[in-house]
Amino acid sequence: MTTATTVKTEYEAIIGLETHCQLSTNTKIFSNSSTAFGSDPNTNIDPVCMGLPGVLPVLNEKVLEYAVKAGLALNCQIAKYSKFDRKQYFYPDLPKNYQISQYDLPIAEHGWLEIELVDAEGNPIRKRIGITRLHMEEDAGKLVHGGSDRLSGSSYSLVDYNRAGIPLVEIVSEPDLRSGLEAAEYAEELRRIVRYLGVSDGNMEQGSLRCDVNISVRPVGREEFGTKVEIKNMNSFSAIQRAIDYEIERQIAAIEAGDRIIQETRLWQEGAQCTSSMRVKEGSSDYRYFPEPDLAPIEVSNAQLEQWRSELPELPAQKRHHYESELELSAYDARVLTEDRSIAEYFETAIASGANPKAAANWITQDIAAHLNKQKLTITQIALTPTNLADIITRIETGKISNAQAKQKLPDLLSGISPEKAFAGQELITDPSVLEPIVDEVIAANSKELEKYRNGNTNLKGFFVGQVLKKTGKRADPKLTNELVEKKLNA
């Protein structure tokens, strides 16, 4: 959960995001070529994605399923009838010189997702961000610039068409965002959702999730929007936030100086931490859309729609609300536990196996998380099962072992050793009749410390407790040991 910020009080930023999300299908949207990332250049290609004459596209049914599920998860209305369109798009990495997309009849419209922030006082803020539309389309290839040129920085370009034809959904938000922080949180929540669904890996560093920002600034109280500027080339959530914050200040400064804001596309320069002009922005008329003649319209039956709806998992926002209201976890714990679906499922299996929710949350978000970060692992890669974690927590709460014992044995437990084996012969001594003679022995063996204690150095109680724990191999119940030591010292 992040803290909300605002721009200068006399101005208001109007922000919307266009997010391109690659779908995790095995093959491309209109052909059977592989979508595997990292293959040698121009090896995952075929006549369809290369736009060769006489070939016809065929829609990958899994693309439609993933698009509908994403639309349902974003609370969209799913179109019973939609179609594909040709978008004239003359780029060197689009072999056909047009892109197959959806224009006036997208697969999903009129949805929303919820973002969570905190205000300056630490109070939670929940805000719904509208989703205008979600539509399917094909990705373009990738240009690789090389050589050196005094003016442009490169003297030649290579084209890798492996990415051409990889299925995308483009998700367009309403202009409901008001700061870079809100936009970054929106993009993060969108990634959580598609990952929970399993429809995309959402890896920004591999280009699986790419965000373009539309931003304008207007005086507070004015209904008319300012001139919209688009920002591209952002490869992280922090870059989205920084680029928007910079652009807000740039536009405000231009307005106050009497300069005109032009509708254009700008790039985020990570090194210089600023935006720079790329090109004057095209309008939809420049793309000359018309219905794709080689693909039939799409009709989603009620039975198919309900089948896909029934397969949706509980989503991150629902889990956060559930964890806070029913399990009484803090907003922070709920946020960390729901960041990844596998972590949430691990946690839920642990509490279903009898673990106290707060104790399970502490172990997962602290000790286990530290191990995962250090070893660069995911929670599915550790040998400690959620059932065994529940066993450990139950042993602690019933007084069979101490928290310190459990933490000491954690490396063994994470490597797969069972709690039964790890704690064999290690159960806490909780019987006063067994522990009392040991306390007496420790006090009798440390007469000088006893005298100092009785002369006012009461901090020495910890010394005696430590000696009892040492003598019992840390098996003495700490609470009972403290009680017996204090009773004997003050006798």
Tokens of 356: 């106290």
Does residue 454 contact residue 468 with C-beta atoms inside 8 Å? Answer: no
Helix residue spans in 398-454 (DSSP H): 403-414, 419-422, 432-444, 447-454
Backbone angles phi, psi at 283, to 5 degrees: -100, 170
Amino acid at 353: S
CA distance 19 to 118: 24
Q: What mean pLDDT comes out for the span 366-395?
A: 95
Angle between helices 341-352 and 386-397 (to 10 degrees): 50
| Each residue's pLDDT tens digit, 154-208 | 788 899 999 999 999 999 999 999 999 999 999 999 999 999 999 999 999 999 9
pLDDT given at position 454: 87
Strand pairing report for 229-232 and 274-280: unpaired
CA-angle at 463, arms to 458 and 468, nearest 5°:
125
CA distance 411 to 416: 9
Among 110, 42, 127, 32, residue whose Cα is nearest residue 74: 110
Does residue 9 contact residue 217 with C-beta atoms inside 8 Å? Answer: no
Does residue 107 contact residue 135 with C-beta atoms inside 8 Å? Answer: yes
Percent of the residues in the chain that have a pLDDT greater than 90, as a whole number:
71
Q: Tell me what the pLDDT averaged over the chain comes to.
A: 91
Between these two residues, 450 and 360, which has the higher pLDDT value? 360
CA distance 192 to 106: 23
Domains of the chain and CATH, by start: 2-304 (no CATH), 314-422 (no CATH), 432-489 (1.10.10.410)
pLDDT given at position 251: 95
Neighbour tally for 428: CB within 10 Å: 24
Tokens of 274: 């600023």
* Tokens 């266009």 belong to residue: 18
pLDDT given at position 173: 98
pLDDT given at position 473: 78
Answer whether residue 50 shows pLDDT above 70.
yes
Among 211, 213, 267, 195, residue whose Cα is nearest residue 20: 211
Does residue 219 contact residue 12 with C-beta atoms inside 8 Å? Answer: yes
Number of alpha carbons in the 13 Å side-chain half-sphere of residue 461:
15
pLDDT given at position 113: 96
CA distance 100 to 78: 20
- Torsion sign over Cα 204, 209, 212, 213: negative
Answer whether residue 390 shows pLDDT above 80.
yes
pLDDT given at position 436: 85
Answer whether residue 360 shows pLDDT above 80.
yes
Q: Is 196 exposed, middle or buried (0-12, 13-18, 19+ CB in 10 A)?
A: buried
Answer whether residue 2 shows pLDDT above 60.
no
Tokens of 451: 């005298």
CA distance 60 to 80: 18
CA distance 170 to 225: 23
Tokens of 257: 């100086």
Q: What mean pLDDT comes out for the span 227-245?
A: 92
| Each residue's pLDDT tens digit, 270-313 | 889 999 998 876 555 678 999 999 999 999 999 999 999 999 99
The model carries a pTM of: 0.86
Angle between helices 237-256 and 180-197 (to 10 degrees): 150
Among 165, 137, 140, residue whose Cα is nearest residue 34: 165
pLDDT given at position 147: 76
Among 211, 249, 245, residue whose Cα is nearest residue 230: 211
Strand ranges (DSSP E) for 196-297? 209-219, 229-232, 264-269, 274-280, 290-291
CA-angle at 173, arms to 170 and 178, nearest 5°:
140
| Each residue's pLDDT tens digit, 177-188 | 999 999 999 999
pLDDT given at position 393: 97
> What percent of the residues of the chain are helix, what percent strand, and what percent coil, each to the nearest 5?
40, 20, 40
Between these two residues, 445 and 280, which has the higher pLDDT value? 445
Between these two residues, 21 and 461, which has the higher pLDDT value? 21
